Structure 1
Amino acid sequence: MIPPARSSVRRIAALLTGTLLLVPAASGCGAGAGSGSGGGEVTSITALDYYTDETEHAQWGELLTECGRTVGVKVEQTSVPGASLIPKVLQQASSRTLPDLLMLDNPDLQQIARTGALTPLDEYGIDSGGFAEGILAAGSYQGSVYGLAPNVSTVALVYNKDMLDEAGVAVPRTWDELKAAAAALTRPGRYGMAVDANPTFEGTWQFLPFLWSNGGDERQLDTPEAAGALRLWVDLVNSGSMSKSVLNWTQADVHDQFVAGKTAMMINGPWRIPALNREGNPHWGVAPVPVPELGRTPVTPLGGEVWTVPRSPSKARQEKAARVLACLNSPANMLTAARQHFTVPSRTAEAARYAEEIPSMAAFAQSVEAARARTGELGVDWPKAATAIYTAVQSALTGERTPEEALRNAQRLATAD
């Protein structure tokens, strides 16, 4: 998560604790005795993910168990903190002890697929029809689909209905309307708008809807389109409509500011909805991220995790794992996971049905249709560009550089050897 958001929070927490959580029920990630590794019947397979939150781990465990039962195997689930997952996977790939079923944050898929550790899903006849183009791109490497996400997420504009009504402000649809609304909603003790602009991939994730919706592109950062997007954020801060503290806020901090009534609008994701639904929280609504001008479609980043089938000596184990993966991505299980986690089903038809069922998710479901994979343009080089982007945002919002200067420097950073 990222979400990008959820994923980055996990990774930060893992870095702080430095611990590895192994679920007691798990028996490891290699083919074990009685599992069919010797060419006999496959009765169990292993799965690795980063769902260490107790509730989330249990919910995914239930789906894995049920899908395993459908396929005729026991799924032994191991969960590690997000920051530990990729180092562990790379070590396992080297020692040929990868799990049978592997979950990856979608921006990490290309890095692992490039090593040859994953198998293309078309080898197993898995149905990838009905998925939005961006979702398939997030699970693809060099034209082949290696991973499928049962559900995904993105960001939208969350607003306090009471504050907007009191100020006589309509929900902004364009950048000009956003600046006007933010100014009208700002008063002592409250800002009109909040974003996460901190120096991490989470800060880049929040800036991408503005960059992409204005025609900017991570392949060439020093363009007028990119500068226009960064200028919008600079103007919001310089006008006093947005706190300069956004330079340090995480998405969780932005949420806390919104709940405390210290900002009237924020950019955030659907993973915040459970907390917003709790008693005593503000009367809120969700709308698509504002665009430069009417008629444009907001282009937001795609968050979510893909499930993959690693390469192993046992074709039988790969086949069983692929059947479990297909089960996780069934329309019914997509809806189940989406309801549990406030995410969006990855198949377009199920997303539309879900949006009707849960209106607060409609803007997210709508935005997912045009959402882009972060690795879609640069592949494995995306992290370098992401670092350059958040560096540019920081230097422009502090006033150290103009947006144009900040992005010229970002382009140099992104293309440096």
Structure 2
Amino acid sequence: MVPVIEYVYTFKVRLLHNSSARETLLLSEWVGMGDRLRYCCLKAAVRQVTLDTWMELLVSSAALSKKEMRNNLSERLIDFLYGLQPVQYQDAMDKIQTTWIQAINDHDIVVRAVFALIKNVRLVGFWRNLLDALTTWLKRRFDSPQLPSLRTIHQHFAKDWEPYVELSRVECFTNTPTAVPVPLHVALFEFGDFVLQACINATQSSPLLWRIIRRTSPYFFSEDSEVVMSSEALDGDPEFWIRGHLIVKYQPADQGGAVVTEETQIKYQHCRDHPRTEGWVHYEDPQHNYYRRTICTVSGKLFLWGDPICSLYHQLLQTTLFYCAPGNKDSDVGDILTVSEMQQLPVETLVLVLCSDHLRIPEGERTLLRCLNKMIFGLNVYHLGPDAQLPRSHSGAVEDVTRLYRSVRWCFIPLDNIIQTLRWTPRTTGTRT
């Protein structure tokens, strides 16, 4: 009480002790004190943060009216998470009350906090808790009892492009004399005002590079980087995240013309809080070199999320959807719980989750096919005799069913399972697997 009374009469904070900072904070919040006293209390309390108090302090920090104060305190709290050790994960799951996330209005703090919690508390059960909390936060953000589809959420932030794209086969080649190779710039994909660009330069140690660049950039046909000096330069841009997996096929000079296949991950964050250089990033091992008349093809999948919150929600779904059952339950119970979760998701959300290369599934594609069959044709299909396993009615539009089954990697499915699925599929519906 003493620091509060002191501040009321002098507008100064000199008698605050670290041991009582948290209690002083609660009192100052209760009587409606301004940011200055609460910030001083929070600074002292954050220095002694524990797993028990972490979420409470984050919510209090996010409630300050001044952005600079909010960011300063939240960064210190997030730094605390990066010091956690694996032996502390279970303790963190027990003590960090993720449901409090719904009380945070600051979008950027939610993004940074959820990202740090996913990365630093690696327990599927905790990720499930985070998913539930983020779902509640999104419902509150969109003022809807039912969460919109992931595609709809994306389009709320970025209407100019779809959240998912497949590059089936993009060919890159040089048309220059073999004696005078020059850099070749190839647009792999265009979205909104931006381009995912590749550069082939056979004379460099890193002959194949990629970057995200604006269409109107003066550096579009240059190998120089476009440097963003401040966050103000990004004020008019959407804050998008890109996550992707690409396959590059090319002919290195040391392989005698043989085609080499490389796989690479694309990760890019276009955010005002962390402006960065739009520079070149290596595709693959820079030790490889190319013929001067280079020919290569690029294929793969890209998620181009219009806001980081979409990427985080997608990541939590793809890592937890097939792990919603307790570990001691048999596969039938697990399938029932998983199918129930799948049925609660909008089809557009489910399709975006199932087509991800990072989808985590116990026993792989066979589990995915089994759960899809139970969701489309009924939970009892695997318990019926052969006579009953004939064409059955399915739920949902034919187009939606087709999109869901296209997410299955059929090359990993035994032939017997494929034939069984076809027997359940009535020809009159036009459903194809």
Q: TM-score, normalised by structure 2?
A: 0.27
Could you say which structure has the larger radius of gyration? 2
Q: Which has the higher contact order (CA 8 A, sep 6+)?
A: 1
Q: TM-score, normalised by structure 1?
A: 0.28
